[in-house]
Amino acid sequence: MTGRSPTLWKAQVRDVTCGDRVKIVEPANVYECTLSDDCFVGPFVEIQKGVLIGARTKVQSHSFICELVEIGEDCFIGHGVMFINDLFSNGGPARGNRTLWKETRIGNRVSIGSNATILPVNICDDVVIGAGAVVTSDIEVSGIYAGNPARLIRNAGSASAEN
């Protein structure tokens, strides 16, 4: 390198409260969070402080779970899923003003497809979010959701599509 030396921060797993049989594939940046029994975290995942992940939940590679996120039990987080806690309510990033950040709560048995984006919302139990969907508002009815913004395309247990 020429010029000044950068400050290097290494990906690490530190200060994680783990249940039994938790598996984390490195490299991963997982810190100050709680992973319940039988959780799996794939490589190139970041899980930030204060996050709570329920038992038997799997987080696939390249996903980002920011502060203020709680994920229930028996969930599946696909590859490249992004959780957002800052809505840029002042026209740009909160820049350390955490009072502007919002919470996300994911119920039990929720599957989120690859490359979905989850804004600060509440998602009820027994929901499937399609790959690439953008969830911008609370989901209060179990079913399958897809699109941008995500919308209900099929109720839980229903074989017909909703319009």
Q: What is the pLDDT of residue 1?
A: 60
Q: In a structure prediction context, what are the per-residue pLDDT tens digits for the chain, which is 163 residues long?
A: 678 999 988 889 999 999 999 999 999 999 999 999 999 999 999 999 999 999 999 999 999 999 999 999 999 999 999 999 999 888 899 887 889 999 999 999 999 999 999 999 999 999 999 999 999 999 999 999 999 999 999 997 765 444 4
The two tokens of residue 102 are 């919002």
Instruction: Report pTM.
Output: 0.92
Q: Which domains does the chain have, with CATH numbers?
A: 13-87+98-155 (2.160.10.10)
Q: What is the pLDDT of residue 106?
A: 98
Q: DSSP letter string over 74-121?
A: S-EE-TT-EE-----TTSS--TT-GGG---EEE-SS-EE-TT-EE-S-
Q: What is the pLDDT of residue 39?
A: 98
Q: What is the pLDDT of residue 162?
A: 47
- What φ, ψ does residue 54 adopt, rounded to 5°? -75, 170
